[in-house]
Amino acid sequence: MIDEILASLSLEEKIKLLSGENAWHMEGLASFDLPGLTLTDGPHGVRLADEAAGEYFASKPATAFPIEAAMAATWNIDLIEEMAVHMGYESRFHGVQVLLGPGVNGKRSPLAGRNFEYFSEDPYLTGKMGTAFVKGVQSQGVGTSVKHYVGNEQETNRMVISSEIDSQALHEIYLKPFKMIVDEANPWTMMCAYNALNGVPLSRNPSLLIDILRNQWGYDGLVMSDWGAVWDKIESIKNCLDLEMPGPGKQDELAIQAYKDNALSMDSIDHRLRRVLALMMRSKKEFKPLKDYDFKKSHDIAKQVAAEAMVLLKNNGILPIKEKEAIGIIGEFAKKPRIQGGGSSHINPTVLNSFYKVMTQEKEIDYAAGYHGGQTNDELIKEALELAQSKDKVLLFVGTTELIEGEGFDRLDMKLPKGHRRLIDALIKVHDHIVLLNFSGSAVDLSAYTIDVAAIVQCWLPGQAGSEALRDLIYGQQNFSGKLSETFPLCLEHNPSYLSFPGSIDEVSYKESIFVGYRYYDTKKLPVLYPFGHGLSYTYFEYADLKVSSDEIIDDESLEVTVKITNTGDYSGQEVIQVYYGKPSAVVKRADKNLIKFKKVSLKSNESTTVKLLLKRDDFEFYSKKLKGMAVEEGHYQIFIGSSSRDIRLIKDIYIHSTDDVKEALSVNHSIRAFINDPEYGENILNIFNNLGFDKSNGLYEVMLGMPLKVALGIVQSFNLEEEKVEPLYQVIQSLQEKE
């Protein structure tokens, strides 16, 4: 059918179809009974613009789910897939064929304004969450758009900047989640980022769009632009960008002229159009509208996600709160809940109960605002202090405001708003029983309070059901099981991107390379405020009996790891078992720990279970510049089993045999020492130099060992040594030069 359509369309009609119809729609082809499509943000719910009401920015009511950073903090793949199924229902109900999400960019700096909209600083956790999201939505015959491909880790200058990323970091950190999702969930569409990568804009980047995405990964879905990311339509068409959004295209005339001037081929145009048509056909086949939908179902699952996402960072025993205790609620967020991030993912929630409302349904509880927005004053502080002093325990709501954190701008620092800080400082002087409830989309600096407050909960931006989830958690009706999806560093200056974020107007260099988040803090052995993967519970878990199916494997064999987990406390609870690998000596420096598997298990008090995890080749892969691809290095590895990246409970050593030849080939520029240490050359080179009179007794021996082979030859020749002794060295050099 596609061939038939292509044959029937004029050049003008074809070019027109390579852009959207308007902001949120793709035009259909009535003559072939192919309906148009509605595309809508994503990823925290369905943000369908209320066009009937003439509104571009206002949207129809839909469930506001917790932000992606919170979704990842559940570490519960099944739950996120289930949640995404509900987003699929809502998309069907609203007539949305493609939901624009998930966002799977990385987090090199806590300051990045859109961190809330991305899952994690770890690419594996991001990849697993993104896969679950895509599977869930697409199970409903609704497409997704995995974004923003790739290197969009900041908002500053995002539309013009070039992210300069080395090949190892690009493949191991930034491309990895996209690849995992393409391999495991086959998203209907992907969205290219605004930025350039190493100088070439993503909307016309042949290396990323053609070589990697199409040729290496075999992706066969549609690639659309981010909104307004196409600067050169002709180059975009040539380089495999299928659809420009939003439409209508502003450069259609130019593209038509380019075709007439033989500067753009019909083959390129048709290839792009084939993807557009394939998407329309897929959607026509799979999309089934829903007439009615019970939004309560989505609300319930949004609550469950929020409850599993909130992270108990500290608890000196103050939580859970007992019914009879006199509590006071302080902080405007308790009445005006901070539930979601600002920007394109902003949802118009179906219901929204404040925490104060949820708490006061059955009894009166005293409240003081403490601040308005990010500001406070003497009066508000005084009121808050008076309230606090009359209560056993204080629930103190703080966090970032929409003015501090959101799409389109990066944060200036990691601090809470000034007014919130002043309020906390005043309260901790007079009260020992404060529960600090922090609402933010990314790590904030809480280091000044960790000693003085009794408990801290990272609530994220928990979506429309967040208040209900929080009430259940702090009263112990549900146990905490969230774990940080990103490190809370001790201070911003410790962050590895501190000196290079956000770069200049046209360039940002990812100088920290693969050492992002805990990969950096752990390898540098820097203290952190709260480590990646950290999260307390009302119960305790014991780890024992770590077993591996073999101490030695070949790289394409899998390794079964089992570990016994026991809930040794008094509450039922859930634990996230995290598996990291380390490779202490390697051809290229690796992080001390790299997350490769995790599993969330649910256990009653005194219950045990044996958790089984299967480790595979990809888990140990790194990017080999020599092989220009992912490879496994032969050698010793460590398997760490932990409850966070800094709370490693059990370790096992294994050996992996590999046929990937990742060692850099020796050249005449390598030192004599490198040749002597090499199994192939070692003995020969040692003999040659001994014969030439250089042995350990020679005072210049060490100096000589450090010289590149080619320089050594010149020096040896200048010593007027016998020719037959110099000749073998000359021959080695010649044979190496021939290989180059």
**What residues line the site for ligand BGC (CB under 6 A)?**
41, 100, 147, 226-227, 344
Residue closer to ligand BGC, measured from CB, 107 or 238: 107
Q: Closest distance between ligand BGC and the C-beta of residue 23, in Å? A: 8
CA 622/CA 406 separation, integer angstroms: 33
Task: Find the catalytic residue in 41, 122, 226, 472.
Answer: 226
Instruction: For residue 611, give the H/E element and its range.
Output: strand 608-615
Minimum CB distance to ligand BGC smaller for 502 or for 531: 502
Q: Do 78 and 132 contact (CB within 8 A), yes or no? A: yes
Tell which residue, 474, 331, 309, has the closest CA to residue 398.
331
As measured in angstroms, the least distance from the Cβ of 226 to ligand BGC is: 5
Q: Taken in order 329, 332, 336, 338, is the CA torsion positive or negative?
A: negative
Q: Which residue's beta carbon is nearest to the bound ligand BGC? A: 344
Up-side HSE of residue 246: CA atoms within 13 Å toward CB? 9
* Residue nearer to ligand BGC on the CB measure, 147 or 272: 147
In the complex, what is the shortest distance from the CB of residue 229 to ligand BGC, in angstroms, rounded to a whole number? 8
392/407 with CB nearer ligand BGC: 407
- d(CA 668, CA 646) in angstroms, rounded, equals 43
Packed helices 295-309 and 77-94: angle between N→C axes, nearest 10 degrees: 150
Which residue number, 41 or 242, has a Cβ lying nearer to ligand BGC? 41
Measured from the CB of residue 41, what is the shortest distance to ligand BGC in angstroms? Answer: 5
Instruction: For the CB of residue 704, give the shortest distance to ligand BGC in the complex, in Å.
Output: 58
Q: Is 226 a catalytic residue?
A: yes
Shortest separation between residue 48's beta carbon and ligand BGC, angstroms = 12
Nearer to ligand BGC, 224 or 514 (CB): 224
The minimum distance between CB 245 and ligand BGC, in angstroms, equals 7
The one-letter amino acid code at 552 reads: E
Rounded Cα–Cα distance for residues 16 and 385 (Å): 64
Our CA dihedral for 283, 245, 63, 351, rounded to 10 degrees, sits at -140
Contact 669, 708 (CB under 8 A): yes
Instruction: For ligand BGC, give the closer residue by CB, 41 or 522.
Output: 41
Q: Please give the Cα distance from 218 to 556 (Å, whole number).
A: 21
* Shortest Cβ 114–ligand BGC spacing (Å): 8
CA dihedral 520, 521, 523, 526 (to 10 degrees): 140
With beta carbons less than 8 A apart as the criterion, state whether 694 and 704 touch: yes
Enumerate the β-bridge partners of residue 508: 163
CA quadruple 26, 30, 35, 40: dihedral, nearest 10 = 20
Q: Is the peptide bond before 496 cis (omega within 30 degrees of 0)?
A: no
> Of the two residues 100 and 492, which places its CB atom closer to ligand BGC in the complex?
100
Q: How many helices (H) and strands (E) does the chain have?
A: 23, 28
Kind plus residue range of the DSSP H or E element containing 685? helix 682-691
Contact assessment for residue 478 and residue 307, using Cβ atoms and an 8 Å cutoff: yes
Q: What is the dihedral of CA 471, 84, 290, 300, to 10 degrees?
A: -10
Least Å from the CB of residue 445 to ligand BGC = 27
Of 227 and 259, the one with the shorter C-beta distance to ligand BGC is: 227
Minimum gap (Å) between residue 230 Cβ and ligand BGC: 13
Q: C-alpha distances in angstroms, 694 versus 29, 680, 703?
A: 81, 20, 11
Q: Which is nearer to ligand BGC, 181 or 457 (CB)?
A: 181
What lies within 8 Å, CB to CB, of 295 at 6+ separation is 61, 62, 63, 90, 350, 351
What distances in angstroms separate CA 717 from CA 423, 674, 689, one per listed residue? 77, 21, 13
Which residues are catalytically annotated?
226
